[in-house]
Amino acid sequence: MTVAISINGRFLTQSISGVQRYAWEVVRQWDRMIARESGAGLIADVELLCPAGAKLPGPLTAIQVRTVGSLQGHPWEQWSLPRAARGRRLVNLCNVAPLMHGSQMVTVHDAAVFAAPTGYSRKFLAWYRFVYRALVARGARIVTVSAFSRDELRRFLGAGLAIDVVHESGDHIAEVAPDGSIVPQTDPPGGRFVLAVSSMNPNKNFGAIVKAFESKAFPGVELVVAGGTNPKVFAASGALPDGVRHLGYVTDGQLRALYEAAACFVFPSRYEGFGLPPLEAMMCGCPVISSNAASMPEIFGAAALYFDPDDPVELAERLQEVLGDPAVSSRLRAAGLDRARQFTWQRCAASLWAIVSADTWPASRHAPAVSS
């Protein structure tokens, strides 16, 4: 039986964050898989449906790309997309799906709109909460990225809800050539830096890193912040303290070079469905210090040092362990590489393909499946 699958390509009109990264890597792996196995029994008719203005990060050879409709944003997703995908299975990889399409899968990455609403507008919260409940009521197949997120979604959407767990990966960073053009020249020369990747969302808790640096002295060590966020998120005064450098937006190549050069990577988030940047850091051999909240212990295991996200002093102590003891740093580098290699986009895509191409559709809404 030939499986006719349409993929929601709205994410290709959005800036790249973890959710969009996930979507593109899945599509890219499916394209490779279909091209590789088209003559070996993998029968599929797969298309990527996009709004006007969508931009592909790279080429696709086996998946057809179609621009459909004249709308944009939510109207395109809720009206143009289901019309174009009529009669086909629809795959939605970025949390939202059209309510008028009956045969579809949606990856809901976390339950933050219910459990950690700080930083979202009322309109945003109302829409996403409504959509999630409606998709469950209409029998959409739900996938998420960690056991933590599965349990959280069940807490808010129904204890008996069947949810497939398919882990993400960070191995895309290994395919990018490092670009050291913005790796900081430390002051004094030969000094070290601690790396963080920023975000505007208060749940990311980046102010804790600044407080940790303020609570203890780290001679010759700078805090380097990569990401496009306004640096005011780091301090109530709006000014970054001495020894903190904000780089702004960085490319994947620049980010890889930063991971490889940093003394360690700090991830202070209070709420994450998965936590992609620390896996990227581990893949680049960078020691990781992470908060002990949400999905982080599940994903990083014993390959990270942990701290209470509400205790900057404990974070400072973890920093002292890594920065002050080469043996700890070396152990984390080795453990991180080993842990990161357990998660691959190829495995993630294969697990998702098994779900979307299954003979039974939609699947039973009882026992969940778990895959890493």
Looking up residue 235, the CATH number of its domain turns out to be 3.40.50.2000
- Examine the domain organization and report whether 190 and 221 are in the same domain: yes
Task: Write down the pLDDT at residue 3.
Answer: 81
- Examine the domain organization and report whether 57 and 144 are in the same domain: yes
Task: Write down the pLDDT at residue 214.
Answer: 85
- Examine the domain organization and report whether 182 and 323 are in the same domain: yes
Residue 27 tokens read as 């599509």
- Examine the domain organization and report whether 197 and 277 are in the same domain: yes
- Examine the domain organization and report whether 202 and 163 are in the same domain: no
- Examine the domain organization and report whether 181 and 301 are in the same domain: yes
Structural contact between residues 278 and 304, judged by C-beta atoms closer than 8 angstroms? yes
Count of domains observed in the chain: 2
Task: Write down the pLDDT at residue 198.
Answer: 73
Interhelix angle 312-324/326-340, rounded to 10 degrees, is 100
- Examine the domain organization and report whether 280 and 327 are in the same domain: yes
Measured distance CA(152)–CA(319) in Å, rounded: 30
- Examine the domain organization and report whether 352 and 283 are in the same domain: no
- Examine the domain organization and report whether 216 and 137 are in the same domain: no
From the centroid of its chain, how far is CA 224? 21
* Mean pLDDT in consecutive groups of 10 residues from the start of the chain, 372 residues: 89 93 97 79 84 96 96 97 96 97 96 93 96 96 98 96 97 96 73 83 84 87 80 47 80 96 96 96 98 98 97 96 97 98 97 88 43 44
User: Among candidates 158, 132, 101, 41, which has minimal Cα distance to 362?
Assistant: 101
- Examine the domain organization and report whether 92 and 155 are in the same domain: yes
Task: Write down the pLDDT at residue 230.
Answer: 52
- Examine the domain organization and report whether 232 and 277 are in the same domain: yes
- Examine the domain organization and report whether 275 and 322 are in the same domain: yes
Residue 44 lies in domain: 3-169+344-371
